[in-house]
């Protein structure tokens, strides 16, 4: 692992995008949160403020050189765009994890990181019902996007909020003090329920049912380890909560980049696409889906700025829905079986598989 003061080209100008669309941001502060998690506050220069404007719940993708490869990892912003002047990411060590341990051990104030602009859909709807309770479920490092949403809602809205926050033990609770402070300041609106594996064991469907007894009919956000998320999500669905009211963010690393294969060409599409229609920002565009290209590449070639971030099928920033025809995914670490069945796909990994394809990007 490169351990210099700059992990990206130090001679590159700070405000300019690299060939892959990333920017250099300097680490303005490092906050040790727990024994195995720390926050990095990033300095976004004036000329990049618009580019790095974000919604509560979104993430940044960081590119880190490691053993001759460039590894991309997503980190949700734990800061609130309404309360904090600069974005802050919080990274928890993963056993054997390369980037998370490097971020915790090596990164210092003044270092430069290679960062892609904010992305992601784990966000409140712009027209959310102000009367509707918000129920947030976080496990471990899954608190990061949830904390951003929580602070923002308390700052700007009126909705009652419940946070159910599961951790291994008390020492591993990230943001313990800020949460206590928020609960004191907003005692009429915020309820924080801590669950500790060391006390209650892992969260069970029965516990989730009990927690939800007085908190039904809300909007739910879930982020944490996969078994925690699965338990909460399946219990909510079994209780009859509508799928559209449940938002999930799954943390995972993308597969390592594969070395380029000489003289290889992309796999031929099962069915080439003759006409591609893209619904984006309320407008309809008809374009060519060039053979061998991904949906994202064809959109870009036609000059369409569709949302994207990691471009490795891991972050979900380029999620869109296939409304006509069919596509084939080269790689997918983010969409659930249900989302695939509902027609969702990832533009960065989608290849054409029907003569006529129409896709819609969410607003």
Ligand X SMILES: Cc1cc2nc3c(=O)[nH]c(=O)nc-3n(C[C@H](O)[C@H](O)[C@H](O)COP(=O)(O)OP(=O)(O)OC[C@H]3O[C@@H](n4cnc5c(N)ncnc54)[C@H](O)[C@@H]3O)c2cc1C
In the bound state with ligand X, the residue whose beta carbon lies nearer, of 99 and 166, is 99
Q: How far is the CB of 85 from ligand X (least distance, A)?
A: 19
In the bound state with ligand X, the residue whose beta carbon lies nearer, of 91 and 352, is 91
What's the angle, vertex CA 44, arms to CA 313 and CA 223, rounded to 5? 40
Under the binding rule (CB under 6 A), the answer on residue 137 touching ligand X is no
The DSSP call for residue 258 is P
Handedness of CA 236, 181, 127, 363 (dihedral sign): negative
Task: Give the per-residue contact string, 224-243, with ligand X (x = CB under 6 A; - = no).
Answer: --------------------
Taken as a whole, the chain contains a residue count of 363
Q: Which of residues 93-122 bind ligand X (CB under 6 A)?
A: 94-101, 120
In the bound state with ligand X, the residue whose beta carbon lies nearer, of 249 and 293, is 249
Q: Tell me phi and psi for residue 234, to 5 degrees.
A: -70, -35
Stretch that binds ligand X, among 162-170, 244-252, 287-295, 349-357 (CB under 6 A): 244-252
Q: Which of residues 290-319 bind ligand X (CB under 6 A)?
A: 314-315
In the bound state with ligand X, the residue whose beta carbon lies nearer, of 74 and 116, is 74
Under the binding rule (CB under 6 A), the answer on residue 92 touching ligand X is yes
Task: Give the per-residue contact string, 249-288, with ligand X (x = CB under 6 A; - = no).
Answer: x-xxx-----------------------------------
Under the binding rule (CB under 6 A), the answer on residue 39 touching ligand X is no
Q: How far is the CB of 313 from ligand X (least distance, A)?
A: 10
Under the binding rule (CB under 6 A), the answer on residue 141 touching ligand X is yes
CA–CA distances in Å: residue 195 to residues 140, 192, 203, 354: 11, 10, 8, 48
Whether 273 and 357 have beta carbons less than 8 Å apart is answered as yes
In the bound state with ligand X, the residue whose beta carbon lies nearer, of 132 and 168, is 168
CB atoms within 10 A of CB 185: 11
Under the binding rule (CB under 6 A), the answer on residue 63 touching ligand X is no
Q: How far is the CB of 354 from ligand X (least distance, A)?
A: 29
Stretch that binds ligand X, among 5-13, 16-24, 71-79, 272-280 (CB under 6 A): 71-79
In the bound state with ligand X, the residue whose beta carbon lies nearer, of 144 and 162, is 144
Stretch that binds ligand X, among 86-94, 153-161, 189-197, 322-330 (CB under 6 A): 86-94
Q: Which residues of 72-84 are buried (b: 16+ CB within 10 A; e: fewer)?
A: bbbbbbbbbbeee
3-state secondary structure of 85: coil
CA distance linking residue 167 with residue 17, whole number of Å: 38
Q: Provide the terminal-to-terminal Cα distance of the chain, rounded to the nearest Å.
A: 39
In the bound state with ligand X, the residue whose beta carbon lies nearer, of 65 and 97, is 97
Whether 141 and 77 have beta carbons less than 8 Å apart is answered as no
Whether 205 and 234 have beta carbons less than 8 Å apart is answered as yes
CA distance linking residue 162 with residue 145, whole number of Å: 15
Q: How far is the CB of 175 from ligand X (least distance, A)?
A: 12
Task: Give the per-residue contact string, 171-210, with ligand X (x = CB under 6 A; - = no).
Answer: ----------------------------------------
Per DSSP, the residues of 311-337 read SSSSS-TTEEEEEES-EEES--SS--H
Of residues 336, 335, 321, 234, the one with CA closest to residue 280? 321
Among 23, 54, 75, 147, binds ligand X (CB under 6 A): 75
Stretch that binds ligand X, among 92-100, 150-158, 276-284, 320-328 (CB under 6 A): 92-100
CB atoms within 10 A of CB 263: 4
Angle subtended by helix axes 226-238 and 205-212, to nearest 10: 50
In the bound state with ligand X, the residue whose beta carbon lies nearer, of 92 and 159, is 92
Give the residues lining the site for ligand X (CB under 6 A): 59, 73-76, 89-92, 94-101, 120, 141, 144, 249, 251-253, 314-315
């Amino acid at each position: 692992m490169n351990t210099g003061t700059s992990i990206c080209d130090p001679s590159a100008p700070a405000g300019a995008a690299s060939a892959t669309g990333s920017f250099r941001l300097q680490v303005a502060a490092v906050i040790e949160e727990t024994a195995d998690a720390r926050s990095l506050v990033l300095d976004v220069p004036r000329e990049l403020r618009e580019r790095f404007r974000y919604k509560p719940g979104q993430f940044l993708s960081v590119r880190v050189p490691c053993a001759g490869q460039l590894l991309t990892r997503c980190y949700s912003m734990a800061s609130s765009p309404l309360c904090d002047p600069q974005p802050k990411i919080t990274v928890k060590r993963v056993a054997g994890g390369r980037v998370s341990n490097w971020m915790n051990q090596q990164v210092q104030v003044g270092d430069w990181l290679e960062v892609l602009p904010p992305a992601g859909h784990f966000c409140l709807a712009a027209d959310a019902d102000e009367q509707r309770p918000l129920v947030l479920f976080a496990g471990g490092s899954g608190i990061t996007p949830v904390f951003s949403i929580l602070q923002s809602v308390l700052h700007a809205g009126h909705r009652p909020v419940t946070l159910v926050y599961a951790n291994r033990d008390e020492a591993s609770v990230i943001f313990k003090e800020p949460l206590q402070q928020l609960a004191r300041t907003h005692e009429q609106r915020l309820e924080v329920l801590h669950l500790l594996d060391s006390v209650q064991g892992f969260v069970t469907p029965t516990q989730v049912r009990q927690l939800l007894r007085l908190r039904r009919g809300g909007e739910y956000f879930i982020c944490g380890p996969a078994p925690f998320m699965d338990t909460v999500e399946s219990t909510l669905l079994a209780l009859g909560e509508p799928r559209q009211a449940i938002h999930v963010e799954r943390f995972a690393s993308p597969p390592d980049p594969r070395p380029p294969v000489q003289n290889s060409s992309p796999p031929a599409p099962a069915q080439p696409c003759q006409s591609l229609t893209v619904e984006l920002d309320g407008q309809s565009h008809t374009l060519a889906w060039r053979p061998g290209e991904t949906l994202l590449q064809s959109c870009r070639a036609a000059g369409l700025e569709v949302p994207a971030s990691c471009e490795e099928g891991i972050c979900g920033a380029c999620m869109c829905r296939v409304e006509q025809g069919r596509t084939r995914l080269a790689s997918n670490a983010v969409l659930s079986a249900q989302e695939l069945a509902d027609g969702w796909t990832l533009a960065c990994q989608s290849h054409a598989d029907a003569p006529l394809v129409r896709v819609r990007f969410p607003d």
